[in-house]
């Protein structure tokens, strides 16, 4: 529930806090999508990317092509969820990805794809993207690598793994 709330408030926090910062900052919507995808899986990641991207596309000052961020974040969420699930083993089990590596790589992918899409669609000139991208990439990758293991460890706590019983038999 907390990650969904973060996803819904991330575009507003991005504009109010990060957008006004003189030294730049992370892409909060990208991080929210990556963290949700890593904890819930690729389908949730894709849906979260689409919803978070559309919210980011319409949050003022909306200056780019509508749906650009939604498409990029949907792909990022899908891939982050797949990378976290890992590859199937012969016995039918799965080998999970390493959270810091998956979080950092997914965050980097999201930032690079957004910058590439902005240039490809003509929303931003190449020079401005090259000037801003390294700082945004550094902030986003650092937060993605540092916070991902903490979120996944909290999600997999033994108390959370026990199923809840709706009715008990007498």
Which tokens go with 32?
């929210």
- Does 47 fall in a domain? yes
pLDDT confidence band for 163 (50 / 70 / 90): low
Residue 165 predicted with pLDDT over 60: no
48 sits in the region (left: phi over 0; alpha: psi -120 to 50; else beta) called: alpha
- Does 113 fall in a domain? yes
- Does 133 fall in a domain? yes
- Does 169 fall in a domain? no
Could you read off the pLDDT of 29-76 as tens digits, one per residue?
999 999 999 988 899 999 999 999 998 888 887 777 888 999 999 999
pLDDT confidence band for 160 (50 / 70 / 90): very low
How many domains does the structure of the chain reveal? Answer: 1
- Does 38 fall in a domain? yes
Give the pTM.
Answer: 0.81
Calculate Rg over the CA atoms of the chain. 17
CA atoms in the 13 A half-sphere facing the CB of 85: 19
- Does 29 fall in a domain? yes
Can you give the residue range of the structural domain that contains 9? 2-16+25-86+95-153
Could you read off the pLDDT of 80-132 as tens digits, one per residue?
999 988 766 666 666 566 888 889 999 999 999 999 999 999 888 889 888 88
């Amino acid at each position: 529930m907390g990650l969904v709330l973060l996803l819904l408030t991330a575009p507003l926090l991005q504009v109010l806090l990060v957008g006004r910062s003189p030294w730049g900052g992370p892409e909060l919507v990208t991080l929210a999508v990556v963290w949700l995808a890593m904890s819930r899986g690729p389908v949730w990641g894709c849906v979260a990317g689409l919803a978070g991207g559309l919210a980011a596309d319409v949050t003022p000052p909306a200056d780019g092509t509508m749906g650009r961020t939604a498409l990029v974040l949907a792909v990022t969420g899908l891939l982050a969820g797949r990378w976290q699930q890992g590859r199937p083993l012969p016995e039918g089990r799965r080998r999970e990805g390493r959270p810091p590596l998956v979080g950092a790589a997914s965050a980097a992918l999201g930032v690079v794809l957004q910058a590439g899409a902005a240039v490809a669609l003509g929303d931003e000139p190449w020079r401005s993207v090259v000037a801003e991208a390294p700082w945004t990439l550094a902030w986003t990758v650092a937060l993605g690598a540092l916070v991902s293991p903490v979120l996944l460890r909290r999600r997999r706590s033994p108390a959370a793994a026990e199923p809840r019983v709706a009715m008990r038999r007498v």
